[in-house]
Chains A and B, each alone.
Chain A
Amino acid sequence: MLSGADMLVRSLQDQGVEYIYGYPGGSALHIYDAVFRQEKVKHVLVRHEQAATHMADGYARATGKPGVVLVTSGPGATNTITGIATAYMDSIPMVIISGQVMSHLIGGDAFQETDMMGVSRPVVKHNLSIQDPADIPSVIKKAFYIATTGRPGPVVIDVPKDMTTPGEEYPYEYPAEVEIRSYNPPVRGHAGQIRKAVEMLLKAKRPMIYTGGGVVLGGASEQLIEMTRALGYPITQTLMGLGSYPGSDRQFIGMLGMHGTYEANMAMHHADAILAIGARFDDRVTNNIAKFCPDAMIAQIDIDPSSISKTVQVDIPIVGPVDSVLNEMIGLIKESDIQPDKENLSNWWAQIDEWAKHHGGRYLTNDKGLMKPQQVIQCLQKLTAGDVYVTTDVGQHQMFAAQYLSFEEPNRWITSGGLGTMGFGFPAAMGIQLSFPDETVVCVTGEGSIQMNIQELSTCMQYNIPVKILNINNQSLGMVRQWQDMNYESRHSNSYMESLPDFIKLAEAYGHVGMKIEKIEDLEPMMKKALAMKDKLVFIDVYVDPSEHVYPMQVPTASMRDMWLSKTERT
């Protein structure tokens, strides 16, 4: 016999939860007491609930396991919303347990009462509230099952305080299985559709493989590599997809979309057959849908039927888990009498190589001697060579990191793609570092984003979390500034950071190491030194040229091939 609070924590143990990230408060105190009286599940105390959700999110993205958050009612719960929305947009499995005021007080505007079910509803895969303490184990099982199966996502469990009262005890049993009659995620794709997609691919003259976060989440990297190599076709990936195909491979032609490579966007525009795998034709990828890939026949694999033909109408929809669908496709490709036409393919590659020469990720170094943000990212690439976990915040630094880092494995590139959440990178890196204490974890950020969750320097001191913060400091909100330069005649409305703190002293105030880098000749040796400090959090503050823009950049409302390639040159 256990109390509701003990059943809750015991259920998390039995679910195999390693970490809870959270912050206590009135309505969650019975649960916190149960957390205290056990050692199996470790609790990490953050300094703001939003950071707890991003920590759980980073943990989930790096390990593939669901992240768990525990907060109190009211402000504790509402502070998690940005983190929940971030996970929801990128389909990250998470379970968020929020305390609630006692059942009989609900609806009466009690102290620290918020309708968490209502507030979280638009940004969760599902939410559940505990109505009877005896249901706690089965509700928790259900939450994890929903969060991790099908298209993953965050699930909130709202727990009124009287469901966890000490002394009110119930028989405990954690269910081995759960069945929900109204929820049956697809287990395999339609054989006929898969055959059609293979036929389309094998007959194509200018084929493209375009993949997204679904391949990472679906653990289908191996299958993707096998199929892509068997075909010899070019592959491009979304921001969320990076790493699921080796970045250094000859067939990988870079990220596509708003800040994608010239060759990837050109190849997509001119393709006659596109296989989209676990990618959702986001507006940051397609540019104007009416002008998207005019000559292409499109096949799309996704586990979520509502992702198919949501924005771009596809010709061959396949609903199913990417790994099993790709396995079937590989089998069919091997058996098929038709094989890719070698001449067509070599012409297509010649064309792509020609495009690659055109831009090829170049940028101009500055005669004033200011460091370029791209140089900082390239230095990180040189020193880590992919043997690193990188998280980012949102803005120019995120795009430079996507463009100039190369990932050979999935689950190592961790970024807020869909929601674009500034403040994500640092706590996400902390969540990863705790689970991989021996690995190098770098948060690539900017002086704008880092200040959105900078309070977590304190959490890092408490738990000795030695992440490396690479602050690409351009003393302005770079991406906002870039848009203002391009669209608002350089009127920099509120995009300055005129009162930057001394980040070095700030880091030191929390017992960490700070380094300021202002000259290109210091960059490599100091970054090397920072990365070598395995047991220290190092805040590396690198001053870069504030006027730099991210290129290529698609021209708004145009097609994929319409890009700015520099401040003066466009296609």
Chain B
Amino acid sequence: MRHILSILLENEAGALSRVVGLFSQRNYNIETLTVAPTEDPSLSRLTLTTSGDDRAIEQMTKQLNKLIEVVKLVNLSEGEHIERDLMLIKVKASGAQRAEIKRCADIFRGQIVDVTSSIYTIQLVGASSKLDAFIEAVGDANILETVRTGVSGLARGEKVLAL
């Protein structure tokens, strides 16, 4: 099962390599990873998605918590949460396709952020599954390039991950 782990990490040199190293050392898998400093510059917020059974995820969270630089950790998938992934996608848009691609982008509430006579670059934000659905709707044959930030997420309601 897919899990989203959200981690508050000391914003120090080498801290990220410890997290990433742990995953390869212990034979866990990282599907997506995003990291950036928070409003408190001494802390980074890291979100990663991974998959495994309950025992594997439990071990992963325990091992992550053991890293000295991990301040706090929450498994967002355990409760109600919001997740967002941002994609920039460059697609062929010429002839009859041009209008079709535009309609498709509108349906998915995407924005066209760059245009040439034969190409649209579209920005799309949403849960990973929505971005996957857009890729399918547009069709592989039309896609020139995609780039995704990976998942970021927060718990719904009053729960916060803070010091």
Asked if A pairs with B, the answer is yes
Residues of A within 8 A of B (CB): 117-118, 121-122, 125-127, 129, 131, 146, 180-183, 304-306, 309-310, 313
Q: State the CA gap A310–B55 with chains docked (Å).
A: 8
In the complex, the answer to whether A305 meets B65 with C-beta atoms within 8 Å is yes
Contacting A at CB under 8 A, from B116-138, are none
- Give the residue of B13, B14, B66, B68 whose beta carbon is less than 8 angstroms from that of A306: B66
Determine if B59 is an interface residue (Cβ-Cβ < 8 Å): yes
Q: In the assembled complex, how far is the CB of residue A320 from the closest CB belonging to chain B, in whole angstroms? A: 15
In the complex, the answer to whether B55 meets A182 with C-beta atoms within 8 Å is no
Contacts of B25 in A (CB 8 A): 122
In the complex, the answer to whether A118 meets B17 with C-beta atoms within 8 Å is yes
A–B pairs, 25, beta carbons within 8 Å: A118-B17, A121-B17, A121-B18, A122-B25, A126-B68, A129-B14, A131-B13, A146-B68, A181-B71, A181-B163, A182-B10, A182-B69, A182-B70, A183-B68, A304-B66, A305-B65, A305-B66, A306-B59, A306-B62, A306-B63, A306-B65, A306-B66, A309-B55, A309-B58, A313-B55
Contacts of A313 in B (CB 8 A): 55
Q: State the CA gap A131–B21 with chains docked (Å).
A: 22
In the complex, the answer to whether B66 meets A122 with C-beta atoms within 8 Å is no
Q: In the assembled complex, how far is the CB of residue B41 from the closest CB belonging to chain A, in whole angstroms? A: 15
Q: State the CA gap A310–B71 with chains docked (Å).
A: 22
Q: State the CA gap A127–B67 with chains docked (Å).
A: 11
Q: How large is the interface on B (under 10, 10 to 19, 20 to 34, 35 or more residues)?
A: 10 to 19
- Give the residue of B13, B14, B21 whose beta carbon is less than 8 angstroms from that of A122: B21
Contacting A at CB under 8 A, from B14-73, are 14, 17-18, 21, 25, 55, 58-59, 62-63, 65-66, 68-71
Q: In the assembled complex, how far is the CB of residue A401 from the closest CB belonging to chain B, in whole angstroms? A: 32
Q: Which residue of B lies closest to A121 (CB)?
A: B21
Which of B14, B18, B68, B163 has the largest number of chain A CB atoms within 10 A? B68
Shortest beta-carbon contacts, A-B, top 8: A306-B62, A182-B71, A126-B68, A305-B62, A183-B68, A122-B25, A306-B63, A306-B66
Q: Which residue of B lies closest to A118 (CB)?
A: B17
Q: State the CA gap A180–B14 with chains docked (Å).
A: 17
- Give the residue of A129, A131, A180, A309 whose beta carbon is less than 8 angstroms from that of B68: A180
Q: In the assembled complex, how far is the CB of residue B44 from the closest CB belonging to chain A, in whole angstroms? A: 12
Contacts of A118 in B (CB 8 A): 17
Q: In the assembled complex, how far is the CB of residue B27 from the closest CB belonging to chain A, in whole angstroms? A: 12
Q: State the CA gap A180–B15 with chains docked (Å).
A: 15
Contacts of B70 in A (CB 8 A): 182
Q: Which residue of A lies closest to B163 (CB)?
A: A181
| Given A180-B68, A182-B71: 16 more A-B contacts, CB < 8 Å | A118-B17, A121-B14, A125-B68, A126-B68, A129-B13, A129-B14, A131-B13, A182-B10, A183-B68, A305-B62, A305-B65, A305-B66, A306-B66, A309-B58, A310-B59, A313-B55
Contacts of B10 in A (CB 8 A): 182
Q: In the assembled complex, how far is the CB of residue A37 from the closest CB belonging to chain B, in whole angstroms? A: 32
Q: Which residue of A lies closest to B25 (CB)?
A: A122
Contacts of A180 in B (CB 8 A): 68
Q: In the assembled complex, how far is the CB of residue A520 from the closest CB belonging to chain B, in whole angstroms? A: 48
Contacts of B69 in A (CB 8 A): 182
Q: In the assembled complex, how far is the CB of residue A272 from the closest CB belonging to chain B, in whole angstroms? A: 24
Q: Which residue of A lies closest to B69 (CB)?
A: A182
Contacts of A304 in B (CB 8 A): 66
